[in-house]
Chains A and B, each alone.
Chain A
């Protein structure tokens, strides 16, 4: 079974600084997708970034980037130049390529201090 682990229940960062959220996963598959979702207090789930496992290049979306280590089954999210609006719960998620069933981690609550 595929599992996703986020070992940091809470993280805090100073505005304009950089923070990294950790995620590890367990799978025997070679083809899969990984995602980071953001859930602000409005509780809307918003896709932040996605990574295809077959791609060696780390995905980047503006201030958000990932460090994908396939052999280590690690998928961390780096937020640069943190803004107050980045404060939210962040969920790491895994999905097999040929199956649309997605597995989520327990989430990391990020606080941004002004």
Chain B
């Protein structure tokens, strides 16, 4: 298996623009997680899905953030409009009943 795949690896955008991050989990994993990592706040869980259904989105910072999982092999995290404080590395991870496997992350810079 190729592991968890994320795209893009790097994204630079201007404040106010819409940003969409994409994730393909490991085949057969029924949990998918979105994390944000910053120097100040460390690794934060934003939202996670089980069998494509959002289970806990209490970590989503505000209404500008939204996440979807239309099928078992694809998820998106959207920020609209983006702000400089959203600059971070965003990780997607997937799991079955055990440990989580992480993607390589997307480094987002909002100017």
Which of B17-25, B67-75, B78-86, B89-97 is found at the contact surface with chain A? Answer: B89-97
A33–B100 alpha-carbon span in the complex (Å)? 12
A106 beta carbon closer than 8 Å to chain B: yes
A100–B48 alpha-carbon span in the complex (Å)? 9
Which of A13-21, A22-30, A42-50, A78-86 is found at the contact surface with chain B? Answer: A42-50
Interface size on B, residues (CB 8 A): 21
- Contact pick for B48, options A33, A47, A101, CB 8 Å: A101
Give B23-48 as 1s and 0s: 1 = Cβ < 8 Å from A's Cβ atoms: 00000000101000000001101001
Give A48-88 as 1s and 0s: 1 = Cβ < 8 Å from B's Cβ atoms: 00100000000000000000000000000000000000000
A52, closest chain B residue (CB): B98
A11 beta carbon closer than 8 Å to chain B: no
How many A-B contacts are there with CB distance less than 8 Å? 42
Assess whether A44 is in contact with B104, with CB atoms less than 8 Å apart.
Answer: yes
B31, closest chain A residue (CB): A100
Assess whether B104 is in contact with A43, with CB atoms less than 8 Å apart.
Answer: yes
Question: B13 to chain A: closest CB distance in Å?
Answer: 20
Which secondary structure characterizes the binding site on chain B? strand
Neighbouring B residues of A46 by C-beta, 8 Å: 102
Give B5-25 as 1s and 0s: 1 = Cβ < 8 Å from A's Cβ atoms: 000000000000000000000
B100, closest chain A residue (CB): A102
- Contact pick for B98, options A43, A44, A50, A103, CB 8 Å: A50
Question: Could you tell me which A residues sit within 8 Å of B by CB distance?
Answer: 33, 35, 37, 42-47, 50, 91, 100-107
